[in-house]
Homo-oligomer: A and B are copies of this chain.
C-alpha cells in the first residue's frame, strides 16, 4: 500500500543520512521538499540528492519562515492536502527535513495534518547538536546528569533559570541572540565549559572553543549552536 514517509536528512553531510533513509528514498515516486525562500534551494534536497532515483518527481514547496500564523497554517493545510491526494492515488510520497524530524521541525505540522488520512512512517535523523558533539569529541551528557536543549528564542528569564540549574546544555537558535547568550554564560560561570559551532557539517563550518576571549561576530550564521558541559573532564 502507498505510504507517506517523513525523512530526517541529518545536519548537512550526505553521509550522515541513515541506510533506512537511503533505501526509502530509492523507492519513492514523489518527494516534497521545503524551501525557505520562494524559488530558492532546499538544503534538505541537496543533502539527499545523490540517493534519489531518476524517475522521481520532485515537488518543491515554499514554507514561510515569518511569524504570520494564518499564512503558515494555510500553507501546511494546502501541502498536506496535496500529499494525501498523491498517496491516495497510489504514490509513495516522501518529505525531507533537516536534522531529526521530531526535534524543532516544521515537518510535524504537515505530519499532524495528514496522519488521520494516510499511513505515515517517520525516519529519524542525526540532530545538529548530536553531530556537533561528535565532530568536536565533546560529551553532551553522562551518568545521572540531565541534558537540556534550549531554543534561545525562549523568554530570557527561562534561559537564566536553565543555565542556573543545569550543567549540560544545548543552546540552539543563538543567531541574533549571541551577545545576550555570551553574557549569560559568563554570569552563570559556564563560559569556560562551552563551545560554539556554526554551519556544522556544511561548507564554512566555524568552531569557537574559547568563548571568553574570542571575538564572536554578531552576524554569525543562522545555523549556530552552543554546547555546554560543566562536568566535562572531571572524570
List chain A positions with a Cβ less than 8 A from chain B.
6, 8, 10, 13-20, 22-23, 100-104, 108-109, 111-112, 115, 120, 122-127, 130-131, 133-135, 137-151, 153-155, 158, 161-162, 165, 233, 235
Contacts and interface: CB of A to CB of B under 8 A. Distances in A.
A154 B144 contact: yes
B8 A19 contact: no
B101 A134 contact: yes
Contact of A146 (B13, B115, B140, B151): B151
Contact of A135 (B103, B122, B147, B235): B122
A102 to B, nearest CB: 4
A84 B225 CA distance: 32
B139 A102 contact: yes
A73 to B, nearest CB: 9
Contacts of A111: 137, 139
Given A108-B139, A122-B135, 11 more contacts: A15-B19, A15-B23, A16-B18, A100-B133, A102-B138, A109-B235, A127-B130, A143-B153, A144-B151, A144-B153, A161-B165
